[in-house]
Structures are given as C-alpha cells and as structure tokens.
C-alpha cells in the first residue's frame, strides 16, 4: 500500500549468436544480481526487476518481481533472429500493464529504467515500435540504457538508448562484457534505491551508469 517502487527491466538478446559464452555469462550473473539486491533491505523493499528476452519474437521471462515473491530466476536460451521491434512492442505493453497494476494496488511507481543488451544488428525494421515506447505521449515511457558487444553498431545502440549507450571495446571478451553489464545494472538499481530514500537535488532520483570498464560510452541519439 502506497509503496514507492523502482521498476527495472532487463531486455536481453536471445538470438543464436548469443549462444555459448555470452548467454552463459548472463545466466551466471543474474542470480548474483538478485542475491545482491536481496541482501540490502533498503533496495529489496523498493526495487523490482523484470526480464524480457527477445530473438525472432519476444517474451516476458520474468514478470516485474518483488524480491519477496520471487520463486526462481529464469535462464536465457538462444532461439532465433534479432527482432528489436518485437522487444520494444512487448516492452511497451508490459510497462503499461505493470505501471497500471502498481497504481491500482495503491503504489507510487517511479519512471521505469530499461537495460537493453544485444550482440548484433536488428533483423527487422523496429523504429515504429521504438517510437511508441519512448514517445512522451506514452506517460510511463522508460529511460533506456543500451549496451552492446559483438556485431552491433554503435550508431544503432545510440538510436535505441534514450540516455546513454555503451559499446564494448574491440578485444573485450563477451563474458567480460556481460559481467561488467551485470555490475552496472546492479549498481544502478542499488544507487537509485539509496538516492530515492532521501531527497536528492533537482529530481535526479535514478542513478545511471556513467562509465563501464571495457565499454565506450556514447550519448543517446534516438531517431
């Protein structure tokens, strides 16, 4: 009742190219993220993390979860192409429903933060779905941080992001990149929770990563 909720979404590429080292790393890191969040009660009380996997289609692997009610953490599996459009469409639908449910339950949600992770260029035309998601006419439009490694182009990541994009540097191993990504996601959740538990200056409640080891930071450039 009237809880202040910080919603976070991990939107993760599950295309065939992610098979092996990349998805293994993410699957290893996810339980650790949840464990870390659970170990800090200030964070655990207010942060909720949901997971969407996308390849040819997109699916909600873990609905926006309250740590108290979490049963088990899903595994990501490689299964198809790379449809950004499917991801953004599902994300918009999911966010809309989740924010509505939170409000109906009497809670006060903050603007959702999305950590988008991909290793390749999209295999579809995704701009319409992306626009629907980030448009100011969609009231709970999320803040998107885009992380990429492998074949994805920096420019694409910049278009996806609304705040910042992170491109893995050449020569960085996928598992390294993924571990750093997981660390940034966790830091953002924890620092945002801490910041929102007392008055910050000028409205900057959420804490977003400013840099990531092995990544180059780029400004967002949504189309």
Partner 1 sequence: MDHAEEPATAGTTPRIPEPLIIGRRPMLRSEPGALPRIADRRPDTEVDGADLPGLTVRAASIRGDAHRYYGTVRQDAMGLWQIGDDRLLACVADGLGSKELSHVGAATACEAAYRNFAAFLAGEDLSHAANQLFENISNDLREKAHARGVDPGDLSTTFLAALVEAKADTSWHVMLLRVGDSSAFHLRQGEWTPCFPEDEEGETGQLATSATHALPRDTGSVDVGAAILNPGEMLLLCTDGLTRPMRGEQVRAQLAEWWSEPTPPSLPEFFWQLSFRVKTHDDDRTAICLWRT
The footprint of partner 1 (CB under 8 A) covers 1-5, 41-42, 44-46, 67-68, 99, 106, 108-111, 139-140, 194-203, 205
CB of 7 to partner 1, least distance (A): 10
| 168, 177 contact by CB (below 8 A) | yes
Give the nearer residue to partner 1 in terms of CB position, either 68 or 72: 68
- Which residues neighbour 110 within 8 Å (Cβ) at sequence distance 6 or greater? 4, 5, 6, 7, 196, 205, 206
Give the nearer residue to partner 1 in terms of CB position, either 45 or 59: 45
162 membership: H or E segment, kind and range: none
CB of 109 to partner 1, least distance (A): 6
CB of 152 to partner 1, least distance (A): 30
CB of 107 to partner 1, least distance (A): 8
Give the nearer residue to partner 1 in terms of CB position, either 47 or 165: 47
> What SS3 class is residue 25?
helix
| 111, 6 contact by CB (below 8 A) | no
Of 118, 199, 216, 114, the residue nearest 165 (C-alpha) = 216
Give the nearer residue to partner 1 in terms of CB position, either 105 or 217: 105
């Amino acid at each position: 009742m009237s809880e202040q909720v910080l919603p976070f979404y991990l939107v993760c590429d599950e295309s065939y190219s992610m098979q092996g080292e990349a998805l293994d790393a993410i699957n290893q890191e996810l339980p650790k993220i949840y464990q870390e969040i659970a170990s800090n009660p200030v964070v655990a009380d207010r942060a909720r993390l949901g997971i969407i996997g996308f390849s040819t289609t997109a699916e909600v692997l873990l609905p926006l979860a309250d740590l108290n009610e979490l049963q088990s953490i899903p595994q990501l599996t490689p299964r198809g192409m790379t449809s950004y459009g499917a991801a953004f469409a599902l994300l918009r639908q999911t966010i809309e429903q989740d924010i509505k449910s939170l409000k109906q339950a009497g809670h006060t949600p903050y603007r959702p933060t999305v950590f988008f992770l991909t290793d390749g260029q999209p295999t579809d035309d995704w701009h319409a779905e992306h626009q629907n998601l980030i448009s100011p006419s969609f009231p709970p439009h999320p803040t998107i941080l885009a992380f990429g490694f492998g074949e994805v182009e920096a420019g694409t990541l910049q278009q996806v992001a609304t705040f910042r994009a992170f491109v893995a540097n050449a020569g960085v191993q996928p598992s390294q990149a993924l571990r750093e990504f997981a660390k940034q996601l966790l830091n953002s959740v924890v620092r945002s929770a801490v910041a929102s538990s007392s008055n910050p200056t000028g409205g900057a409640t959420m804490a977003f990563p400013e840099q990531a080891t092995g990544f180059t930071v780029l400004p967002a450039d949504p189309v």
